[in-house]
Amino acid sequence: MPPTPRNEYPRPQMVRRDWLCLNGPWQFEIDPGDSGLERGLKDRPLKDQIVVPFCPESSLSGIGNVDFMNAVWYRREVTIPSEWKDRDVLLHFQACDQDTTVWVNGIEVVRHRGAWTPFSASLKGIAGPGDTCTIVVRARDPGRTPSAAGKQSGRYENYSCFYVRTTGIWQTVWMEPVSAVHFSRPRITPNVEFSRFDIVTPLTAPGASVVGHTVRVRVLKDARVIVQAESAVGTDFYPAFSLTIPKEHVVLWEPGKPFLYDLEMELVDASGCVVDRIQSYSGLRSVAIDGKRVLINGRSVFQRLVLDQGYYPDGILTAPTDQALVDDIRLSMEAGFNGARLHQKVFEERFLYHADRMGYLCWGEFGDWGIDRTAVPSTYVAQWLETLHRDYNHPCIIGWCGLNETAETITDRISGLDDLTRAFFLAAKAIDTTRPVLDASGYSHRVLETDIYDCHDYDQDPVTFRERHIRTAENQVFQNPGSGGDNPQVWSVPYRGQPYFVSEFGGALWNPDASPNDASWGYGNRPKTIEEFYDRFEKLCGVLLENPAHFGYCYTQLTDVFQEKNGLYRFDRSPKFDVKRLRNAQTRPAAIER
């Protein structure tokens, strides 16, 4: 039997010892007319077989169907380990696109909307340790209907910067046992000024009482406990702790020089028995704004970011292996970048875990392309809130941006886009007071108090590129077309002196493997020679590195993606350029760091 795919622990910031990976072969059936419930698909074996967690469009799934699939069904029998005796069982889906309903033994246990975030179901009263249960999943994903789909194509074919769709399960499915009272995902906030971690340990207790329980929290450095605390729970479902790190043990998490403290949390019942234990980690890292500078641990760090869309030839949105996630970060750092804009996709938790370990800066984003911006934004904001909750603890994340390239003229009417932009901004600010929030990347800035201001600029001429950005220090910033100048339309609220960066630039086509009828594309005019590409790359990066009013940039992009051949690496991650030359072009000190 082949090894279970993607069988590494899927939730590295909240680890329990006991768990069961459910990746691998599942029964599968495409439901073209979304009539499967009426036709009895919930209650009978399915016709085909798929390899979970890979989507049916991918070759790794064994299906490879790239047509529209309005609905798909999954079915699997699972024997729950008998060693989990006297505990309840949780069934987890790390991500499933788009509207998902799950039945266990014929009983609906959960429904969830959204492509990007995890959801869970308690099997209490339905199936328990030692039982064999039947899991049935229906995922509805009508590809031509507005939804937060990111770069998934709304046509049958790939085109422009839209790619093969992802339908249904595309991240790990798994189970774990829990006690009647157990931890939910902790909230860990580093405080560099006072060298402490502020930790909230939410408890879940459906039908049970938390009274009489005690929570213990420990911080470890190099496997040694350096500070600990405990608290009786009482009636509070959110026990909170502040743990100060002794001075001799203070080590900051820095880009390129990460240090992570291990955390242990135990839940003890009234009889003194440990009923839940989770492991986590965190880094002491701060993000602050000082004029036009973004500070990390009080120091100005120029953010040399690359656009990373997280696509793979064989897995589409799903990395074929855990090592592939590590390799993408390594390739980026070898080319001289210290971080990435995680673009139009909520990356899996394992990627952020590796970014934490490798000291790699990330901007958290949402796959908002495709949403109906005239609709009431509640469903999209709910999905964004789930993203913020899931990823809050990662030290690698240094900013949030929920929307990308929204475009609409500002009039005297409040529009749906106004509502949506403000809702996304306020949601991020409400959840997280420790990181800056960008209201929308490029194009329409519609929130006056946005923490960050940016533009997208694919001008390929370093001379005119410099002219566009030379006056940022005087608060005269480049805004995208439609925002003023010769165009009478106004897309954005005025710039108010916030930290500013060009969050998309470059993107020149270079395809050394092009055929005579090559249909690949990139931005602007194609360099005629590879030396012309190097010259352009160095000069465009230099314009922004030398600008004392820019805190960073984001180059498009890390890898080719299907027909888009403007990556610094091929789609299969093989090199297109001399990586040392790319690195040398952008690793000199930036003006804002001096």
3-state secondary structure 543-558: HHHCCCCEEEEEEECC
CB 417 within 8 A of CB 440: no
Residue 350 token pair: 């394992």
pLDDT of residue 480: 78
Whether 437 and 571 map to the same domain: the answer is yes
Distance of alpha carbon 142 from alpha carbon 98, whole angstroms: 8
pLDDT of residue 2: 77
Return the SS3 of 327. Answer: helix
**By C-alpha distance, which of 373, 511, 360 is closest to 440?**
373
44: in domain = yes
pLDDT of residue 234: 80
Residue 530 token pair: 């590879």
CB 375 within 8 A of CB 419: no
DSSP category for residue 494: P
Whether 323 and 400 map to the same domain: the answer is yes
pLDDT of residue 594: 85
Q: Where residue 242 sits, what CATH number does that domain have?
A: 2.60.40.10
29-66 pLDDT per residue, tens:
999 999 999 999 999 999 999 999 999 999 999 999 99
Among the candidates 282, 308, 329, a domain finishes at 282
Whether 200 and 339 map to the same domain: the answer is no
DSSP category for residue 351: H
pLDDT of residue 484: 45
pLDDT of residue 483: 46
pLDDT of residue 485: 46
What backbone torsions phi and psi does residue 56 show, to the nearest 5 degrees? -65, -15
Element (H, E) at 468: helix 462-469
Whether 522 and 573 map to the same domain: the answer is yes
- Edge to edge, what strands does the sheet with 48-52 contain? 48-52, 24-30, 71-79, 132-140, 99-104, 107-113
12: in domain = no
pLDDT of residue 143: 79
295: in domain = no
Q: Which residues contact 316 (CB under 8 A, 6 or more apart)?
A: 54, 55, 57, 58, 163, 164, 166, 170
Amino acid at 350: R
Amino acid at 464: T
Whether 332 and 466 map to the same domain: the answer is yes
Whether 355 and 447 map to the same domain: the answer is yes
Whether 381 and 512 map to the same domain: the answer is yes
Whether 334 and 249 map to the same domain: the answer is no
Amino acid at 313: P
Show the low-confidence residues of the chain (pLDDT under 70): 1, 481-489
pLDDT of residue 489: 67
Q: Where residue 461 sits, what CATH number does that domain have?
A: 3.20.20.80
Whether 277 and 310 map to the same domain: the answer is no
438: in domain = yes
Distance of alpha carbon 313 from alpha carbon 57, whole angstroms: 11
Q: Which residues contact 574 (CB under 8 A, 6 or more apart)?
A: none
pTM attached to this predicted model: 0.96
Distance of alpha carbon 446 from alpha carbon 425, whole angstroms: 10
The b/e string for 114-138 (b: 16+ C-beta within 10 A; e otherwise) is bbbbbbbbbbbebbbbeeebbbbbb
419: in domain = yes
Which residues are bridge partners to 290 per DSSP? 293
119: in domain = yes
188: in domain = no
322: in domain = yes
Whether 511 and 403 map to the same domain: the answer is yes
Number of folded domains in the chain?
A: 3
Whether 200 and 142 map to the same domain: the answer is no
Q: Where residue 89 sits, what CATH number does that domain have?
A: 2.60.120.260
Whether 393 and 364 map to the same domain: the answer is yes
- Provide the residue range defining the domain that includes 457: 300-593
